[in-house]
Structures are given as structure tokens and as C-alpha cells.
Amino acid sequence: MAMSLTMETLVSLCKRRGFIFQSSEIYGGIASCWDYGPLGAELKQNIKRAWWRDHVQLRPDMVGLDASILMHPTVWKASGHVDHFTDPMVDCRECRRRFRADKLDETPWTHYCSAKKGNKFAVPPGEPCAHCGTRRSLCPECGKGELTPPRQFNLMFRTFMGAVEEEATLVYLRPETAQGIFVNFDNVLQAMRRKLPFGIAQIGKAFRNEITPGNFIFRTHEFEQMEIEYFVNPNDTVNGKSADEYWHERWIEGSLAWFQRYGMRAERLRLREHDKEELAHYAKRTADIEYRFPFGWSELMGIANRTDFDLRQHAQWSGKALTYFDEERKEHVVPYVIEPSAGVDRALLAFLVDAYREEEVRGERRVLLKLHPELAPVKVAVLPLLKKREDIVRTAQGIRAELARRWAVSYDDTAAIGRLYRRQDEVGTPFCVTVDVRTVGDAERAERGDGRVTIRDRDSMQQVRVPIPELRSVLQELLDGGEWGTVTARFGAGASPEAG
Ligand SMILES: [Zn+2]
Ligand SMILES: [Zn+2]
């Protein structure tokens, strides 16, 4: 049953199942700010943990950093953000709404048509009126107001540091995490005794006062970044290429592979090279990884070759040398930087979109989040088949407590088993464990239980019964990517399709 997912469906699932809520909702919400609910918080943690492990812990050439959000204001002079991190804005003189000058023709516009007795029409983006041929010149929203000439509007959030506002220092909420890495380049180099090439990774919040944010958590005022600055010696050559070009290529391939390793479908990912006009003035080459969201192909992450621009700028503004001593050539060099930069929230949105499936099972609709086990917010759900049987409940609670020492586990006894399975499918729980009468037996009838519980697989809906003492190791095997078939073969007789 191929069905294309709409953002409306996804937003509603996210709210209903506790992934993402609108911020300050009881007060009517605040534009483009979102809160991660219990399952969203787990999912987000899992994405960050996987990224950190794969990019920092597993690599001998990487280290981590956690820099502060508030930085010395000169950082943003040096980086160019104070002068150039701007969007051209226009205001409507009637309704006072504000628009990005370069995006005016991307939304439908309101038009009072003289050829149609002044009646109001919504004209498609960028098109002239079909009745009178007029093009939009007034405010697209109210259709009446003149627009001011474009003015440059800085995207950084500003605040004040100090007790008395008049004497306080103007500081900014960082618009990117990258600068925290650049200004710590020498600290890390010295403290960790690094040799080029090496990288510094950071996960943290950044803030941008975007006037036209939108598409749920795709573009928001407050967001989280996973950024790497990978420093290379521009004088080195690797495989016949300059080191920066070689490593840029490697990071592009590696980044694409990372999303696929956690289940993202290859046909929904593509690479887009920035052309000359689009490139930032300091960048030698930039490639975006785009994902096919329900609203179209959009940037998931960017991988830029920023050359030595940032380190040179900070050296100039701070008066501190930010160089590396090349032992071989006996000279100081300013490293080039490759910057793979991904948004946590965007990655989370893409993983959710990609995981979403609708299937028909025995005439009923099944909604499924086919999340990679490592990303799934809940790894195992423990479900007692009869909530009034004390021995079943006691056994199930014991299993829950034992598994919870290692994984995010949920316990649910508030519906019939079929319903409980569907609930877990909808939030992407890879495995359910069911305790039933066969597990504990029936004392009144003098029947002994078999001491086994049922593991049910989310994707195939197949089941296998395993002895309780082996449950943890079997789940570990499965969550580590072990084959379902291998496990069912070992416990053979109990494997069966889902019943009920
Ligand atoms: Zn207006
Ligand atoms: Zn018209």
C-alpha cells in the first residue's frame, strides 16, 4: 500500500504519540519553536549518541568539544556574522507584516482585481493575475499596502550581559556552533597533542532569527547542530589530490553513508553541489546532502571546504597565532578546514519521514515507524497478557526492571494485545515481550509454566518464544542487528506469525 506521507499526518502523529509538541501551546504557541516530548527526547538523544560515537569515539583522528553559547562579541565580527549574516527584508506600510525580499514571489499573493469589480483573489506564487494580467507590486498578504525598500536585517538574536542594561555588553546567541571550535583550535591542539589531519566535533544549540521559518522542525529559530571542523595541511597530498580536496570527498561519502547506515533509503538522498554564484566567498567547494521531505528536496546537511578563512580571521582579530607547525617542512601553516555540518532536528525529521510506513494487515491499517533499533525511542515493550493475573504481572514487572537497566523500556497493560502491538509499531519499538499463561502456568490446575516469553518482531510481526534467562542476551543480539532468522532457528518450535 504505497501512500505518500503528508506533513499533516506526521505532525499529528508526533503530537498524539509524544514526539513533538508546539512550544508554549497552552498560551497559543510561539512561532517556529517546538518541544520534544518523552519519545522525541529519546529519539533525539539516540541520534546524537550514534553520531557522537561514530564520529568521535570510533575515530582516532577526532575529539569532541562543548563550547558555550554566549561568546565574546568580537567572535562574530571576525566571523563576518555581524556584517554579513543578514537577509533583505521589506515591510508592509499597511499591515506591518515583514517579508524576505528575495522570497516574495514564493507564496500566493492577495489581489483585488480591477477587471473583476475589485474582488479578492489568491494568485499563485510569481504569476500575474489571470484576469487583468497585473503582477504583484503590493503586500502579498493584505494586498493593499505599499512595501518599503529592502533593508538588511541581521539574523542573530541579541541579548545583554551585565546587571545594568545601559552599561551591559551586547552579546549574541550563537548562530552556529562552528566558531566555538575555531576559537578553541589552539587549545585543543596543545592539550591533546594532535597532528594534522584531525577534527573537532561539537553538538549544541544555535539560534537564528529567521523571518520565514517553517515546515515543522525543518527550519526553526532555535535548533541543534552536529558540526565537525576537520583540519588538514593544505600542503599535503593524498592519492594525488591536495589534502583538503581529498578529505572533502571522504567526508561527503562518509556523511551520505552515515544516514544510510541508520536506515535512510538511498533513493531519498542526493548530493547537490553549490555552483559558483551560490558559494560563500571563502568556500572552495560546498556540497549539500538533500533529503526528499514531503515538502520537496531540501538540505539535510552541508559539507564545505572553508579553506583557512576562519582561522586567519580569528588570528587577525585576536592577535593570536592560529597555526600548526609542520615538522616535516619546518614551517608554520594555517590549516584548511572541511566542515560537515548537520542539523539534529532536520536529521530527526528525515529519520521519522523515512521510517513511516502504512500497511494493511488482515484488512486493518497498520502504521509503522521502521526506525533503526539504535534510534528507536523505546527498544523493548513488556506486555502482560492478563493484567489481573498476579503471577503474570509479577513476572512481567521483573522482566521490565531487568531490561530497563540497559535499555529504554516501556510497560503497557492498558489494552488487548493486538492493540498494544499496534501502539508500539506506531512509535517504532523494535521488539515486544509478552508474558502469558504459558509462561507462568496455572497453579489451580497444577500446570507448570514453560518459563518462556514471546518476543515479537516489529517489522515481520513474527514471534518466537525464548526462556526468560536468555531473554536479555537474545534481545541484545537482535538490537545489535542480529538476524531474526538465526534466533528463531535456535528456538525453532516457538516461532510463529503474530496471533491475535
Ligand atoms: Zn500588508
Ligand atoms: Zn487582476
What separation in Å is there between the alpha carbon of 119 and the centre of ligand 2? Answer: 9
Task: Read off the pTM.
Answer: 0.90
- One-letter-per-residue 3-state SS of 275-298: CCCCCCCCCCEEEEEEEEECCEEE
| Mean pLDDT value across residues 30-47 | 96
What separation in Å is there between the alpha carbon of 139 and the centre of ligand 1? Answer: 5
Q: What's the pLDDT at 373?
A: 97
CB atoms inside a 10 Å sphere around CB 80: 15
Q: What's the pLDDT at 376?
A: 98
Which has the higher per-residue pLDDT, 60 or 493?
A: 60
Question: Rounded to whole angstroms, how far apart are CA atoms 490 and 112?
Answer: 73
Res 2 pLDDT > 50: no
Q: What are phi and psi of 193, to 5 degrees?
A: 50, 60
What separation in Å is there between the alpha carbon of 144 and the centre of ligand 2? Answer: 13
Check the CA dihedral 310-315-320-326 and report its sign.
positive
Q: Is 244 within 8 Å of 305 (Cβ atoms)?
A: yes
What separation in Å is there between the alpha carbon of 120 and the centre of ligand 2? Answer: 9
What separation in Å is there between the alpha carbon of 22 and the centre of ligand 1? Answer: 27
What separation in Å is there between the alpha carbon of 116 and the centre of ligand 2? Answer: 7
**Model confidence band, residue 493 (pLDDT cutoffs 50, 70, 90):** low
Q: What's the pLDDT at 4?
A: 82
| Mean pLDDT value across residues 358-374 | 94
Q: Is 373 within 8 Å of 351 (Cβ atoms)?
A: no
- The ligand that comes nearest to the alpha carbon of residue 129 is 2
What separation in Å is there between the alpha carbon of 14 and the centre of ligand 1? Answer: 34
Instruction: Summarize pLDDT for 408-448 with one digit per residue, the tens.
Output: 999 999 999 999 999 999 999 999 999 999 999 988 888 88
Question: Rounded to whole angstroms, how far apart are CA atoms 22 and 32?
Answer: 8
Res 394 pLDDT > 70: yes
Average pLDDT of the residues of the chain: 93
- The ligand that comes nearest to the alpha carbon of residue 97 is 1
Question: Rounded to whole angstroms, how far apart are CA atoms 89 and 147?
Answer: 10
| Mean pLDDT value across residues 466-481 | 96
- The ligand that comes nearest to the alpha carbon of residue 143 is 1
What separation in Å is there between the alpha carbon of 131 and the centre of ligand 2? Answer: 5
Instruction: Summarize pLDDT for 100-144 with one digit per residue, the tens.
Output: 898 888 889 999 999 999 999 999 998 999 999 999 999 999 999
| Mean pLDDT value across residues 75-91 | 92
Grid cell locating 245:
580536496
What separation in Å is there between the alpha carbon of 58 and the centre of ligand 1? Answer: 54
Cβ neighbors of 249 (< 8 A, separation 6 or more) are 241
Question: Rounded to whole angstroms, how far apart are CA atoms 450 and 468?
Answer: 10
Question: Rounded to whole angstroms, how far apart are CA atoms 41 and 36?
Answer: 5
- The ligand that comes nearest to the alpha carbon of residue 96 is 1
What separation in Å is there between the alpha carbon of 125 and the centre of ligand 2? Answer: 14
Q: Is 140 within 8 Å of 99 (Cβ atoms)?
A: yes
Among residues 345, 340, 341, 102, the alpha carbon closest in space to that of 221 is found at: 345
Kindly give the interhelix angle for 7-16 and 344-355, rounded to the nearest 10 degrees. Answer: 100
Helices (H), 29-92: 38-52, 74-78, 81-84
Question: Rounded to whole angstroms, how far apart are CA atoms 433 and 451?
Answer: 13
Check the CA dihedral 381-384-390-396 and report its sign.
negative
Instruction: Summarize pLDDT for 243-284 with one digit per residue, the tens.
Output: 999 999 999 999 999 999 999 999 999 999 999 888 888 899
Res 325 pLDDT > 80: yes
